[in-house]
Structure 1
Amino acid sequence: MAFSWPVRVYWEDTDAGGIVFYANYLKFFERARTEWLRALGHGQQQLKATLGAMFVVTDAQLRYLRPARLDDELLITTALAGHSRASITVQQQALLAPGTPGAPPTVLAQASIRIGWVDVQTLRPRRIPPTLLQQLHP
């Protein structure tokens, strides 16, 4: 089951054409991943301070399907898709909240994001603690 985070499109999110600037989807996805971790009881600063390691994006593949516009209400979803010893992969979507009750949301953008677990000091990969991995699973 995917975690969802609501986002409203503001003026600052749009380009001269009145649609969401493509790079801002990365910001929306980042915020949703941060809130997903927080909902699981793991603040980014807390992980860094207590475990001496942090998550960093190592790969991002995005696909843009339809534009979002000023004042649109979006849902940004995050779901764990897989993991290795030192990274996780999440699937994310930006969905246009439906205007009609019961109507399915429209997928605007989708991404596969790989996030490495690295040592705070050296930025070298580290093994993700097994207890943390267990908590990330749905």
Structure 2
Amino acid sequence: MPDSLAQFRLPIRVYVEDTDAGGIVFYANYLKYMERARTELMRSLGFDKPALFDDMQFVVSQVSLKYHSPALLDDQISVTAVLSKASRVTFEMTQQVFRGDELLVEGWVKVACINSTSKRPQGMPKPMFNALTENFKQQS
């Protein structure tokens, strides 16, 4: 896996359902935004949700977040995903949430591939692994 990686970015609008009574995004919703970005990243590589559940599942095994500033009702934010490490069974991504150029939240997520029946670790299909790792190499 090379050190320089490309970045995936997903724009999201903050709706009232995302906020608390004060119009501030509820802290757990940032995890939902990051999940959406990872899902859309996989879709952009040609793997829609049904393909992701063909005898396998992706599950989050570790996550860490650092909150810098809150997103507010009706903000236009963007969520990034950058592959930082990958094997056939797990991959790790650094993710950030921005409002314009302002960093609101940053996180790290480790995702494991498991067999959908046994729930045991399983390697993701080779074409999926190749698409994930090859599409994150920095274009020069």
* Structure 1 length-normalised TM: 0.89
Shift, 1:109, TM fit: 0.3
Counterpart contact for 2:114–2:120, Cα < 8 Å: yes
Match of 2:49 in 1: 44
Over aligned residues, Cα RMSD in angstroms?
A: 1.1
Alignment of 1:1-138 (within 5 A): 1-49=6-54, 52-97=55-100, 105-137=101-133, 138=136
List gaps (5 residues or longer) in structure 2: 1-5
Percent identity (aligned): 40
Aligned partner of 2:70: which letter? P
Q: What is the count of residue pairs matched by the alignment?
A: 129
Contact 1:60 1:113 in 2 (8 A): yes
CA distance in 1, matches of 2:96, 2:130: 23
Secondary structure of the equivalent of 1:17?
A: coil
Provide Cα deviations, 1:44-70, integer angstroms capped at 9, x if missing partner: 221322xx1121111110110111101
Give me the TM-score of the superposition, normalised by structure 2.
0.87
Q: Matches of 1:45 and 1:57 in 2, distance apart?
A: 18
For residues 58 and 76 of structure 2, what CA distance do their matches in structure 1 show? Answer: 28
Which 4+ residue blocks in structure 1 deviate beyond 2 angstroms?
128-131
* Contact map agreement 1:78 1:90 (CA 8 A) in 2: yes
Native 8 Å contact 1:54 1:120 kept in 2: yes
**Does the CA contact (< 8 Å) of 1:44 and 1:54 recur in 2?**
no
In structure 1, the gaps of 5 or more residues are 98-104
Say if 2:88 and 2:129, in contact at 8 Å, map to a contact too: no
